Structure 1
Amino acid sequence: VFTDEEKDKLAETGTLGGIKEMKDTLTGNVCKCYVSFHESTNRIITMPVDAIKIPDYIYGKRLDDKQKQILASGGEVPINDIQRKNDTMLSGVAYVDPTIRDIAFKQSDKQLKVNDTILGAKITPEQKKILENHGMVFIENMRNPKTRQLFSDDVRFSNKSNNLLIGRNAREYKPVVENPKNDRKQETKQTARHVVSPRPQARKNSLSFS
């Protein structure tokens, strides 16, 4: 049984944000679980708390004991200023997601953040502002990461995935226009599926945690 507050939380964020005692429909055993709502299949997904091992690092950022405890209890942990390979910065929150049986990461800041350098070339505050608004600028003395040779060219970041675009790709890029999402909520009958794991198992993380 879910309270109105718990149902609202699942509908808004997709996860319960905490731990709840749930009954395994197959074995009848009751255990503490992480709970999420899988919208595409309209299912409530549960996973025992001992089915996952909390990592020491997320995107190269070391987690302290307090952050690990928050994750273990079903909460969200802010991870800020993650350095990406394309010289942009990423910030968001990490949380346990029973749907993927792993730690998930959700970007909390939709605004693109550009580093002070692009491929080793220092950029001006004006260029940085243009790039963060997905505009195109000409940058001199960048270094090719493969050949290590210096070059100069037009640069911009795509507005959909924030990928770094250089030269012809930057000049011919057409920004992606998103369609407004339908936010109407529909009440439908839900089914539950319980993910069972006898003990924690280590596996390679799809988010490249290290």
Structure 2
Amino acid sequence: MEATNETKDYRFQPDQIDWNSLSSLGIDKGRLEKLDVLDNLLKGYKTNELVPLTLKLGNAIVRMDARLSLQQNDEGKIVMAMHGIRKEPNLNFSFFGHEFTDEDKENLRRSGNMGRVVELYNQKSGEYIPSVISIDSKTKELVAFRADWMKVPEEIKGVKLNEEQKQILLEGKPLYLEGMISKKGEPFNAEVQFNADKRFIEFLFGERSTVQKKANADLGGGMEVKTETKEAKKMTRKNKNESTPKTKKVSRPKAVKM
């Protein structure tokens, strides 16, 4: 199929999908369009929202909510992957060859990001790939993203980053920034960090922030550091799936499939 202005940015095309096999899950093209998730799927991303599914297993019917993504299997066919909800991520077992330290576990449970680059083993290629690890906040699934695919903007909310700050973010670590400006022109401070699931730099507020953790320890716990304005917090909740501004538009590869 010849690419058009609407399809040339897609990683997958609708005619590559076996819609007949998906009908057993209650999924069809029209429903995905109605839910406004088909575009993200074709671009190679997971759906932003959970999608209700109905699985028919013999005489049993299982209903579940999951995020969906399109993936290419070993035979080259495009299949639908279901990312079901977990009670919590399993951090006690190896993840592509990486054994989580106590600090890794603490960081993942608090902020959702492990906070460092580690070598993950790709069974298909037999190579170790430097990657960052985060937790999908909706499903509690562990997600890895290649470090060489990470993109850091020149500026975040009006604060221009120097080379040292960029390097901190590229190493997966959190970075505290002061003097950022919200959409309504209000100044605010916050930690920022790369999230492997979202594939961009996100803001860390409240208990997710290491600044908050340190303040609680220094003050005996129970006290909150006001690192952001009310407007900034509202903005972050509303736009939590949007990347930071003034980032050059790049083609984002999908998260590492190992």
* TM value normalised by structure 1: 0.52
- Matching residue of 1:98: 196
Match of 1:208 among 223, 226, 245: 245
Tell me: higher relative CO, structure 1 or 2? Use CA pairs within 8 A at least 6 residues apart.
1
Say if 2:57 is the partner of 1:20.
no
Asked if the contact 1:88–1:112 (Cα under 8 Å) also holds between the matched residues in 2, the reply is no
Structure 2 CA distance for partners of 1:73 and 1:111, relative to 1, 3 Å:
closer
1:71 Cα shift?
A: 0.7
Q: Compute the RMSD of aligned alpha carbons.
A: 2.8
Asked if the contact 2:188–2:227 (Cα under 8 Å) also holds between the matched residues in 1, the reply is no
Structure 2 CA distance for partners of 1:56 and 1:207, relative to 1, 3 Å:
closer
What SS class does the counterpart of residue 114 from structure 2 fall into? strand
**Given residue 14 of structure 1, which amino acid in structure 2 is its aligned partner?**
G
Unpaired runs of 5+ residues, structure 2, are 1-98, 207-224, 236-241, 248-258
Structure 2 CA distance for partners of 1:79 and 1:158, relative to 1, 3 Å:
closer
- Matching residue of 1:30: 128
Distance 1:160 1:94 in 2: 13
Say if 2:125 is the partner of 1:52.
no
- Matching residue of 1:10: 108
1:26 Cα shift?
A: 4.6
1:72 Cα shift?
A: 1.0
Q: Name the one with the larger helix percent.
A: 2
What SS class does the counterpart of residue 244 from structure 2 fall into? coil
Distance 1:61 1:158 in 2: 18
Asked if the contact 2:157–2:180 (Cα under 8 Å) also holds between the matched residues in 1, the reply is yes
Distance 1:33 1:159 in 2: 30
Distance 1:159 1:29 in 2: 42
Percent identity between matched residues is: 25
Q: Name the one with the larger strand percent.
A: 1
Deviations 1:151-192 (A, max 9, x none): xxxxxx779727xxxxxxxxxxxxxxxxxxxxxxxxxxxxxx
Asked if the contact 1:33–1:46 (Cα under 8 Å) also holds between the matched residues in 2, the reply is yes
Alignment of 1:128-147 (within 5 A): none
Distance 1:112 1:79 in 2: 11
What SS class does the counterpart of residue 189 from structure 2 fall into? strand
